[in-house]
Amino acid sequence: MVRAIRFHETGGPEVLRYEDLPVRSPGPGEVRIRVDAVGLNRAEVNFRRGTYLETPRLPAGLGTEAAGEVLEVGPDVERWAPGDAVSVVPAFSQNDYPVYAEEAVVPAAALVARPDGMDAVTGAAIWMPYVTVYGMVAEIVRVRPGDHVVITSAANSVGVAALQVVRHLGAIPVATIPSPAQRDAVFAAGAESVVVTSETDDLAAALRAATGGRGAALVLDADGGPAVADLVSACAPDATVIVHGGLSGEPTPLPAAGYAPVWLRRYRVFEITGDPEALRRAEHFVRSGLATGAFTPLVDRVFAFDDVVAAHKYVDSPDRAPGKPVLRVR
């Protein structure tokens, strides 16, 4: 039996429970891992609430991002062996393979090897942000040196990774943040310029000024909602706006006439993690950036396994510090 975190009804953080559950042996294409740390994401908060893209099958577990050690491999698993230090990337439903637990069974295809010397907390924090960004700037579009790239909600874990990746590729990262309290940290993470959305009545004009009047060649939008129309208005002709999140909680419109021709696209990291070849390319891209020092994973706050309620309250806070919150299991 191992301790796991589940919920039997949707709602606030108080619905989360610690339970002793059996862990099954891995089946074909699966591995059983010891979970040392779990990367925390807004997706789990929305899943717990019942507002995520998929409905939880109650009682439900949580989580798709973790780091630990392989304990057992199932039939037909060749790459991994007991003792391997690994990270789990989001490539599956939380209904099927939750990782908020002391041990978990996950698909072998969702594992990447942790770089030598990397601790579990960092290993739980790096892959989702950087792989998410890789997919947008290397698989969907190719960022060109000198392009202005707008990154919304740039203080979250994906935003910080995007600032580093865009600068690494020679482009010019323009950040938006909701609060001026995050300004210094976002500049330190690599932003060339910063627009505080609470300080402007005309987001499109502020972004056009930040791009020197050229307009953005690419927008990586974590928010969605009505502000997408302003983002499209801030773009150069033939730019791309990729909506990869829904932090606004509001419907995202398709802007009508009166805008420059812009490609508006939704995106989820599963497009990369669900494609073995794309994930292989992403893994090499991230490892290269880590090796050269271009990518520096930013862990925000580490919570003890027993403090999951506090952790979920923090993940849902609008005043979070930049970076990735992590739940330390052991």
- pLDDT surpasses 70 at 273: yes
User: What is the band of 224 on the pLDDT scale with cuts at 50, 70, 90?
Assistant: confident
Same domain, 139 and 256: yes
User: What is the band of 54 on the pLDDT scale with cuts at 50, 70, 90?
Assistant: confident
Residue 102 lies in a domain: yes
Residue 281 lies in a domain: no
Task: Return mean pLDDT, the chain.
Answer: 93
User: What is the band of 314 on the pLDDT scale with cuts at 50, 70, 90?
Assistant: very high
- pLDDT surpasses 90 at 267: yes
Mean pLDDT on 46-68: 93
Q: What is the pLDDT of residue 257?
A: 60
DSSP letter (8 states) at residue 113: E
Q: What is the pLDDT of residue 258?
A: 62
Residue 264 lies in a domain: yes
Residue 286 lies in a domain: no
Same domain, 140 and 112: no
Q: What is the pLDDT of residue 134?
A: 97
Mean pLDDT on 299-317: 94
DSSP letter (8 states) at residue 112: E
Q: Each residue of 156-179: pLDDT tens digit?
A: 899 999 999 999 999 999 999 998
Same domain, 180 and 133: yes
Cβ neighbours of residue 19 closer than 8 Å, sequence gap 6 or more: 3, 4, 5, 6
Same domain, 147 and 120: no
Q: What is the pLDDT of residue 135?
A: 96
Residue 276 lies in a domain: no
Number of domain units in the chain: 2
Residue 288 lies in a domain: no
Same domain, 11 and 88: yes
- pLDDT surpasses 70 at 327: yes
- pLDDT surpasses 80 at 250: no
Q: Each residue of 186-222: pLDDT tens digit?
A: 999 899 999 999 999 999 999 999 999 999 999 999 9
Same domain, 201 and 258: yes
Residue 275 lies in a domain: no
Structure tokens at 49: 């609430």
Same domain, 148 and 262: yes
Same domain, 110 and 165: no
Same domain, 133 and 259: yes
Same domain, 107 and 178: no
Contact criterion met (CB below 8 Å) for 315 and 41: yes
Percentage with pLDDT > 90 across the chain:
80
Same domain, 257 and 145: yes
- The beta strand positions in the chain, using DSSP E, are 2-7, 16-21, 30-39, 66-73, 85-88, 103-107, 111-113, 148-151, 172-177, 193-196, 216-221, 235-243, 263-266, 299-304, 324-328
CA distances from 308 to 13, 20, 222, 311 (A): 8, 16, 24, 5
Q: Which CATH number goes with the domain that contains 207?
A: 3.40.50.720
| pTM, two decimal places | 0.91
Helix axes 308-315, 42-49, angle to 10 degrees: 100
- pLDDT surpasses 70 at 294: yes
Same domain, 114 and 166: no
DSSP letter (8 states) at residue 28: T
- pLDDT surpasses 90 at 62: yes
Q: Which CATH number goes with the domain that contains 26?
A: 3.90.180.10
Give the structural domain span for 161: 128-270
Q: What is the pLDDT of residue 256?
A: 63
Q: Each residue of 122-159: pLDDT tens digit?
A: 999 999 999 999 999 999 999 999 999 999 999 889 99
Residue 210 lies in a domain: yes
